[in-house]
Structure 1
Amino acid sequence: MVDRDHSAFPARFWFDRFKAALPRGSTILDLGCGGGEPIARYLIDQGFHLTGIDKDAAMITLARTRFPRETWIHADMRTVRIEAQFEGVIAWNSLTQLSRADQAAMAERAAHWLKPGGRLLFSAEADRDWDSSGYRRGSLYHADLGPADYSAAIAARGLIEMAHVAEDPACNGAGVWLARKP
């Protein structure tokens, strides 16, 4: 059980850009929502409605306790079935534990869940352990797609990349993408 760090919100710049074109009251899907801190809280405080998905039941319970008016789903983002569409989809620090194939497939899922004009915001840690030697020593292995692969996955699903930073220092060196559905 790992809740997102809510002692600071250095990524606020990205979330401000993400929500700038979304009308107050818009619905946002948060993939890998954790316990809802700090992202859900920030967006709820800005007047948005959240649907969060996380595979950790304890995190979903925590999010439900913190924000009972929002929708929280205990499920795997790779297989969950949601018929609704949203003005925004977020996958912040949540793709890293997926395989490369699953990471690429999430672009298709996000595009399906977005309404026309909707925004996609996601981050992905830089894959600094290409040979998985750290995994063999006991650390988590991050098998992220490279920046060009993420950009290609977005474009292949008909999304338009609006902004991208390969390694944003304000986000612990993670890559960040902001895209929209035409």
Structure 2
Amino acid sequence: MMKPLVLGKKYDKIAQWWHDRHHDSTYGVEPFQRAISYAAKGGKAMDVGCGAGGRFVRILQSNGFQITGLDVSQEMVRLAALNHPDETFLHQDICSWETADRYDFIVAWDSIFHLPLDMQRPVVTKLCQLLADDGVVIYTFGNDAGAHESEWLGDSFYYSSIGIADNVGILLENGLTLMHLELDQYPEKHVYVIAKKQSRLAV
């Protein structure tokens, strides 16, 4: 298990590299655009593990969203604020962060798979609960259940997942409808899911 503070320090070291590599990349854009297509135009959006901002923030802006980004890396948050001065970026841990706001769109792309294994269920549940009625969430996770550490860019990073069945189960338990699920980088075990919260008026 890797504490979020430790993870944040690791990402501080590579923040500029990450910014330069991903600011204008197309990685994840097609799934993200698919998720946007299920959402209403405008409203509040939250980006969990926002990194230095870039492509996803720009797409949200072009669709009329007001964005709040969270990241455990202070340097990532600094870069995101420089890139997108009209949006809000917070140096926060989604495990402990609380808000009274509800969001019309939530993205957690390649971020919550760094959480401690025992925080997967609570955090996915939190994302569901932070959605407004008719809100859409897109996030990524690993196909296999369990936890491991891998070497990347000369450092060790922790990853965990509760797998496909448990992730889908949490979404359904919280009143969300599954819109799309894809093992999008096969044979890598990378999954993304899109789900929509049913309006109370439609129940």
TM-score interval (norm. to shorter): 0.7 to 0.9
Seen in structure 2, the aligned counterparts of structure 1 residues 26 and 126 have a Cα distance that, compared at 3 Å, is same
Amino acid at match of 1:43: L
Contact 2:29–2:55 at 8 Å: present in 1 too? no
Provide the C-alpha distance between the structure 2 equivalents of 1:41 and 1:160, rounded to a whole number of angstroms: 26
Query: Which range moved further: 119-128 or 53-62?
Result: 119-128
Provide the C-alpha distance between the structure 2 equivalents of 1:87 and 1:101, rounded to a whole number of angstroms: 27
Question: Partner of 2:59: helix, strand, or coil?
Answer: helix
Matches of residues 46-125 of structure 1 in structure 2 within 5 Å? Answer: 46-125=63-142
Instruction: For residue 47 of structure 1, report the CA deviation from its aligned partner.
Output: 2.6
Question: Partner of 1:161: helix, strand, or coil?
Answer: strand
Total equivalences in the alignment: 178
Instruction: For residue 102 of structure 1, report the CA deviation from its aligned partner.
Output: 1.0
Instruction: For residue 131 of structure 1, report the CA deviation from its aligned partner.
Output: 7.5
Instruction: For residue 142 of structure 1, report the CA deviation from its aligned partner.
Output: 1.8
Provide the C-alpha distance between the structure 1 equivalents of 2:135 and 2:163, rounded to a whole number of angstroms: 24
Contact 1:107–1:157 at 8 Å: present in 2 too? no
Superposed CA RMSD in Å reads 2.5
- Given candidates 46, 56, 60, the residue that maps to 1:43 is 60
Provide the C-alpha distance between the structure 1 equivalents of 2:94 and 2:101, rounded to a whole number of angstroms: 14
Amino acid at match of 1:38: R
Seen in structure 2, the aligned counterparts of structure 1 residues 173 and 11 have a Cα distance that, compared at 3 Å, is farther
Partner of 2:191: 175
Instruction: For residue 146 of structure 1, report the CA deviation from its aligned partner.
Output: 1.0
Matches of residues 141-160 of structure 1 in structure 2 within 5 Å? Answer: 141-160=158-177
Contact 2:144–2:189 at 8 Å: present in 1 too? no
- Given candidates 10, 27, 32, the residue that maps to 1:15 is 32
Contact 1:124–1:176 at 8 Å: present in 2 too? yes
Provide the C-alpha distance between the structure 1 equivalents of 2:84 and 2:156, rounded to a whole number of angstroms: 33
In structure 2, the gaps of 5 or more residues are 1-11, 199-203
Provide the C-alpha distance between the structure 2 equivalents of 1:55 and 1:35, rounded to a whole number of angstroms: 12
Instruction: For residue 126 of structure 1, report the CA deviation from its aligned partner.
Output: 4.1
Instruction: For residue 157 of structure 1, report the CA deviation from its aligned partner.
Output: 1.9
Whichever structure has more strand as a proportion of its residues is 2
Instruction: For residue 35 of structure 1, report the CA deviation from its aligned partner.
Output: 0.9
Provide the C-alpha distance between the structure 1 equivalents of 2:64 and 2:112, rounded to a whole number of angstroms: 26
Partner of 2:7: none
TM-score by length of 1: 0.86
Aligned identity (percent) is 24
Question: Partner of 1:180: helix, strand, or coil?
Answer: strand
Provide the C-alpha distance between the structure 1 equivalents of 2:124 and 2:148, rounded to a whole number of angstroms: 24
Provide the C-alpha distance between the structure 2 equivalents of 1:112 and 1:58, rounded to a whole number of angstroms: 28
Runs of 4+ in 1 over 6 A off after TM superposition: none
